[in-house]
A and B are shown apart, each in its own frame.
Chain A
Amino acid sequence: MSAVIDDHAGHEHDHGPAKGLMRWVLTTNHKDIGTMYLWFSFTMFLLGGSFAMVIRAELFQPGLQIVEPAFFNQMTTMHGLIMVFGAVMPAFVGLANWMIPLMIGAPDMALPRLNNFSFWLLPAAFAMLVSTLFTAGGGPNFGWTFYAPLSTTYAPESVTFFIFAIHMMGISSIMGAINVIATILNLRAPGMTLMKMPLFVWTWLITAFLLIAVMPVLAGCVTMMLMDIHFGTSFFSAAGGGDPVLFQHVFWFFGHPEVYIMILPAFGAVSSIIPAFSRKPLFGYTSMVYATASIAFLSFIVWAHHMFVVGIPVVGELFFMYATMLIAVPTGVKVFNWVSTMWEGSLTFETPMLFAVAFVILFTIGGFSGLMLAIAPADFQYHDTYFVVAHFHYVLVPGAIFGIFASAYYWLPKWTGHMYDETLGKLHFWLSFIGMNMAFFPMHFVGLAGMPRRVPDYNLQFADFNMVSSIGAFIFGATQIFFLFIVIKCIRGGEPAPAKPWDGAEGLEWTVPSPAPYHTFVTPPEVK
């Protein structure tokens, strides 16, 4: 199905992309914008990763060796902010831009110019955020959760830049989400009913609603900070009748749905990849949709589990504890469905499948440590220790990031028209897998033994595990440069990819040639 049917003559994109740099600045093409999002997020991934390398180098041995504690704090803060807002979220938006129109048979996103604007806000926002590191007082040093009053009364001068950067990222995300919803609800090909959509589209639809619901709350939160700092209000200042604990409630009302924003699209991608390499349809499609929706709903009523130690009444602790544990039910449904999809399938383990299977196993480990943290009385011991760090890295690295890697390998042939080098891809997987587990598994142990997070120095008893963690982190970090090499190699050449390089794959995206032409589905496909 060659889709380049020239039926709107005179349009400047008829003959493919414009030439030169302005193609990228002015583009309204969903594939171009998707590509830019993906490159941007990978750049941020390497930048945030290099900050992590500084952290792990300092923690290689006890004592202060490499950086000052003040700079260490900026590194932990910026690592978190950049990975969350700069790497993971834009990567998923990039995948959404590329794949959602292809998956639902739409010619482009519903609001292409808005799409261009939401992308170009990001480089501006992150240039501003990263520039704070070069200011006299240093960049944000209050942790990625920027709790008041650390981020208000005691913040460095650059906090205002941080606030505006968050505002811009928020606007970008909200507009991106509106675009995704409009595309999915309005541009589906005839016959593509909601319950026929690939799960990646479903999970993104739900993610987009989460984004619209909580990014404005984050914007409100940083606006209150701005007013406290510059306009003499006291939202978070006890001296003026405000309350620092209020900050945590507002922040986590955003923050908890945010963690699902970072994982739901990965759920969706993996739900396409596992069936493809198991050569079986996805087990329990409908239950997957409802499980995703339940997770999204529950994410709004569990935020205080991040705050068990601030002094919540026992009834509150119990409510948030049970509500949090309840999330294990829909998540369990999903894991069960993925495993059942693989059950008795004809499995092959190409790189996307390796990442997807590792995703299921390792994300489940992260889910279980999450259950441990959900137990309010036990959380008093775990709170603010490395156990928490281990938990959220287990759900974010093999969860979100492995999901993105799996998607990248799965769709690279479609994007570039070439097969990536399978041997190198597998090497990338195994090095990432080993490095990641080496880096984060020992953090469980040091955390349970009481090592606090966000410290540049630690007690001698934690020395060996920290050294293992650091070595693992260095392996994982270096491996990602290798991934860059694999992608560039794949773009520049390689075995030509057929329209459908994976024999078990399903979906409209495999009906267009590889690489996908600049314009696809100008005439909507018929979905039976």
Chain B
Amino acid sequence: MSETISIKRLVKRLLMLAVVMFAFGFALVPLYDVMCKAFGINGKTGGQYEGSQVTDPTRKVRVQFLSTNNIDMVWDFYSKADEIDVHPGAVNEMIFVAHNPSDHPMTAQAIPSISPAEAAAYFHKTECFCFSQQVLQPGERIEMPVRFIVDRDLPADVKHLTLAYTLFDITARQPPVASINGQVPKGEQ
């Protein structure tokens, strides 16, 4: 660049670079999601699984369940069993229970996570309450099923899996539509 280009063009190019890098910052968002899905980073699980697999009765994997409330979430939230042994390829079901003890309707969103993270790509959910939001009226209690398949290709050294849900209160963000008595639901803190 010793034969100088005019300052105007140089500044234009440098400004362009700044704009491109600003856009790149935002591009990191989808890029990160793609990377997470591809490599199972952070134990992120994919969406609904459509396929089916042949059961491998010779192998057993222990799946443990964790349910956690995010800060300020008042619901009771737990799975019916702490752990089950499953065969890779088979469809399994676990029931989670949620109960709204408060005096107003609330909306919740459960976010799943798999440990160890490298197993996340091998854990398929055919049905999950985390695919949608839950609206519970005051005092209402529901049972929510999760159906899942542990992939036959799960690395042999993985013998334990943990499926952890964190339940978030998103009432403020998504007010429950069908509220009783026409009363406007008030957002939790």
Contact = CB atoms under 8 A, between A and B. Distances in A.
A323 interface: no
A178 B22 contact: no
Contacts of A313: 39-41, 117-118
Given A186-B4, A217-B24, A246-B28, A181 B10 contact: yes
Interface stretch (A61-69, A208-216, A260-268, A334-342): A208-216
A424 interface: no
A194 interface: yes
Interface string B1-29: 11010010011001101110111111011
Given A174-B18, A213-B17, A238-B166, A250 B11 contact: no
A178 B70 CA distance: 45
Nearest to B168: A239
Contacts of B117: 311, 313
B92 to A, nearest CB: 25
A289 to B, nearest CB: 15
Contacts of A111: 7, 11
Contacts of B7: 110-111, 182, 186
Interface stretch (A16-24, A126-134, A218-226, A468-476): A218-226
B15 to A, nearest CB: 7
A246 B39 CA distance: 15
A312 interface: yes
Contacts of B33: 243
Given A185-B4, A311-B42, A313-B39, A216 B28 contact: no
Given A224-B29, A253-B28, 15 more contacts: A181-B14, A182-B14, A213-B17, A216-B19, A217-B21, A218-B25, A232-B173, A239-B111, A239-B173, A240-B173, A243-B44, A245-B42, A310-B42, A313-B41, A316-B41
* Secondary structure call for the A interface: helix
Given A212-B21, A220-B25, A194 B2 contact: yes
Contacts of A219: 22, 25
Interface in A154-212: 174, 177-178, 181-182, 185-186, 193-194, 212
Contacts of A239: 70, 109, 111, 168-170, 173
Given A185-B1, A186-B4, A239-B170, A212 B18 contact: yes
A312 B116 CA distance: 11
A249 interface: yes
Given A219-B25, A220-B22, A238 B111 contact: yes
A147 interface: no
A312 B41 contact: yes
B43 A311 contact: yes
Interface in B108-132: 109, 111, 117-118
22 contacts: A174-B18, A178-B11, A182-B7, A185-B1, A186-B10, A213-B17, A216-B21, A224-B26, A232-B173, A238-B111, A238-B168, A239-B70, A239-B109, A239-B170, A240-B173, A241-B111, A243-B32, A243-B33, A243-B42, A249-B28, A311-B43, A313-B41
Given A212-B21, A239-B170, A178 B109 contact: no
A216 B25 CA distance: 7
Contacts of B17: 212-213
Contacts of B118: 313
A246 B32 contact: yes
Closest 3 CB pairs of A and B: A220-B25, A239-B168, A216-B22
Contacts of A216: 18-19, 21-22, 24-25
A212 B21 CA distance: 8
B10 A182 contact: yes
Contacts of B173: 232, 239-240
Nearest to A244: B42
Interface in A305-336: 310-313, 316
Contacts of A224: 25-26, 29
A217 B17 CA distance: 11
A235 interface: yes
Nearest to B170: A239
Given A238-B111, A239-B70, A313-B117, A221 B25 contact: yes
B168 to A, nearest CB: 3
Nearest to A193: B2
A232 B174 CA distance: 10
B162 to A, nearest CB: 13
B28 A250 contact: yes
A174 B22 CA distance: 11
Contacts of A249: 28, 32
B178 to A, nearest CB: 21
B14 A246 contact: no
Interface in B10-68: 10-11, 14-15, 17-19, 21-26, 28-29, 32-33, 36, 39-44
A121 B83 CA distance: 58
Nearest to B36: A243
Contacts of A246: 28-29, 32
A174 B10 CA distance: 14
B128 to A, nearest CB: 14
A115 B41 CA distance: 44
Interface string B156-189: 0000000000101110010000000000000000
A212 B14 contact: yes
A177 B10 CA distance: 12
A422 B117 CA distance: 60
A261 B24 CA distance: 19
A298 to B, nearest CB: 18
